[in-house]
Amino acid sequence: MARVLVTEKIASSGLDALRAAGYEVDLALSLSPDELLDRIGGAHAIIIRSATQVTAEVIEAGRDLVVIGRAGIGLDNVDVDAATRQGVMVVNAPQSNVVSAAEHTIALLLAQARNIPQAHSALLDGRWERSHWQGVELAEKTLGIVGFGRIGKLVAERARGLQMRVIAADPFVSADAVRQSGAELVLLKDLMAESDFVTVHLPKNAETTGLIDRSLLSLAKPTMRLINVARGGIVDEHDLAECLKEGIIAGAALDVFAAEPTLDSPLFGLDSVVVTPHLGASTHEAQHKAGTGIVEMVKLALAGEVVPWAVNLSATEVSETVRPFVPLAETLGRIFGSFIERAPSTLTVACEGEIASDDTRIIGLAVTKGILARTRDEPVSYVNAPRLARQQGMSLAMTATTASDNYVNLIRVSDGESHSVAGTLVGRSGEFRVVEINGHGIDMPSADHLVVITNDNRPGVIGRVGTVLGDAEINIDDMDVGRLNTHGSDTAMMVLSTSNPVSDETTAALAQAPGVLSVNVIES
């Protein structure tokens, strides 16, 4: 039974789902770094929030780790590079708090515009200062959104509902995509100069740390107000405090800080500043979504399946069109791997038909994983498969064409020489079909136990194969015979699925049967 270590509080429904799936839940909250090192051994998964530091040392100690699950978005507390080197998948739940974060942004926007917290505190202190806390309207003002991802788009939608003009700066988003959300794409310096309010929605990395500094703030109007509900450290707090004191900008509202938790910031105590203690995701709904969402991701990872929000995969975009083909691709990789003695220098994976219109990188990754699973003693995952392939000198070449002669969709794997395998999905249930092996046209469903036999195309061979399997008390569940896709070929292929595994002894007996040229046994 796989053990899942949970070191921070998540929704109880998420814990229940883990137990219902048969996992051992090790709930150990508020562990010290040393306690975590002691506890991580033997755990197959760890689920955390923002407090637990999953360092390279922790990952090294977690020799059985398959996946690190972050119930939320930010990964500042996870050494993703160390996890990738060890083949450990890192997943998060980026959709869990997007609504809550967007709504908190709007809350701080309104609080800053109308000085609500300051007026509240003054009244509680016995001061009726109606004229002192005069604010500004949001209608007809310009909101600049720095970072136009999921949260940025939701903020734009809500701001437009407040009759604000919305502009955005994001080098990774097209002008058309921004325009579809009712906003206009501009350069960052122009956004700072034009905006009445600026809100930050960027990930924290080497490029964004300290991005909003004095030089950028100096471009702004003196009436501009800044909001940050993204990550602490993107805004230089010391520069921001000085700009507020000097009147370079009018105000700021922050939910995140460079060091957390903190009770000491140059921004604290300034009348023009509204602060909250990292409440962006602190709603009942977001906590529930984060807990249940990350559990589903962890379950997929432990089952060896594709995880939609894995952050350290070389292929993360998996459309609903492509997703059903991923297990097929891995199966084709296993079949292909059974025919080769060493990894090819170039592995070609061709996607044909409708799926070729989508991002199919995950298909190539799945094929690679399937091939390596037969050749490596260590576990092969979607995370470490590219590294292991490079170690074996194998490069991946992907091709895609929407044209497919005989099938709506087809995946073809080849080494460019003598070995190839192709497959598709058929019917409403999406049943696997292997339709070609090494140039032999066949029609065979995938199965746990497959035997692929190349033989002389003459009478009696099939009967002799059946006799060998019968003597070994192995039942044939399904069988298909195909000739080489060359006119007049004297070579044929039979593919059989069997009720139970075929032993080495039986495999040797099959290989010695008259007319049999080669035998490959493929176990899932």
Q: SS3 letters for 175-235? A: HHHHHHCCCEECCHHHHHHHCCEEEECCCCCCCCCCCECHHHHCCCCCCCEEEECCCCCCE
DSSP secondary structure letter of residue 77: T
436 neighbors 442 (Cβ within 8 angstroms): yes
Q: How far is the C-alpha of 110 from the C-alpha of 471, rounded, in Å?
A: 81
Q: How far is the C-alpha of 207 from the C-alpha of 9, rounded, in Å?
A: 31
Q: Which residues are catalytic?
A: 231, 260, 278
Q: How far is the C-alpha of 448 from the C-alpha of 433, rounded, in Å?
A: 13
194 neighbors 167 (Cβ within 8 angstroms): yes
Residue 351, both tokens: 């996607």
DSSP secondary structure letter of residue 356: G
DSSP secondary structure letter of residue 458: S
User: Residue for token digits 């602060």?
Assistant: 275
Q: What is the DSSP string of 469-522?
A: HHHTT--EEEEEEEEBSSTT--EEEEEEEESSPPPHHHHHHHHHSTTEEEEEEE
* DSSP β-bridge partners for residue 449: 523
Question: Where do the H-state alpha helices sit in 5-115?
Answer: 12-20, 33-40, 56-61, 80-85, 98-114
Cβ atoms within 10 A of the Cβ of 53, count?
14
Q: Which of 287, 171, 278, 295 is nearest to 232 (CA)?
A: 278
Cβ burial of 247 (10 Å; 0-12, 13-18, 19+) is exposed
DSSP secondary structure letter of residue 111: H
For 140, the enclosing helix (H) or strand (E) is none
User: Residue for token digits 């700072």?
Assistant: 192
Q: How far is the C-alpha of 23 from the C-alpha of 223, rounded, in Å?
A: 55
Residue 271: strand, helix, or coil? coil
519 neighbors 451 (Cβ within 8 angstroms): yes
Q: What is the DSSP string of 353-402?
A: EGGGGS--HHHHHHHHHHHHHTT-SS---TTTHHHHHHHTT-EEEEEEES
Interhelix angle 284-302/12-20, nearest 10 degrees: 20
B/e letters for 104-117, b = 16+ CB within 10 Å, e = fewer, are: bbbbbbebbbbbbb
